[in-house]
Amino acid sequence: MAAGTIRYWAAAKAAAGTAEEPYTADNLAEALEAARLNHPGELALVLLRCSFLVDGAPVGTRGHETVRLAEGGTVEVLPPFAGG
């Protein structure tokens, strides 16, 4: 399993109650499931609307279970942003 950091932004940060936390997971699906368990409640709903960057690369429509996480990597959790 890889260890790294999840960074939450905007509404995700508010729902998680923290700006960042460590993960230990092989793939993005595992890391997000752990985040849901660590922060029951609103975060699960917010994550449904988020996009994700893994080590700076957009995940896009790829299945989260197919997105491998690297040792020392970073997952950015980006809710939709308002404005123009």
pLDDT of amino acid 58? 98
Buried b (16+ CB within 10 A) or exposed e, 9-37: eebbbebbeeebeebebebbebbbebbee
Domains of the chain (ranges plus CATH)? 2-78 (3.10.20.30)
Band (pLDDT 50/70/90 cuts) for residue 84 is low
The string of pLDDT tens digits covering residues 11-31 is: 999 999 999 999 999 999 999
- Model pTM? 0.93
Q: Report pLDDT for 81.
A: 78
Per-residue model confidence as pLDDT tens digits over 32-64: 999 999 999 999 999 999 999 999 999 999 999
> Which pair of tokens denotes residue 26?
């092989």
What radius of gyration, in Å, describes the C-alpha atoms of the chain? 12
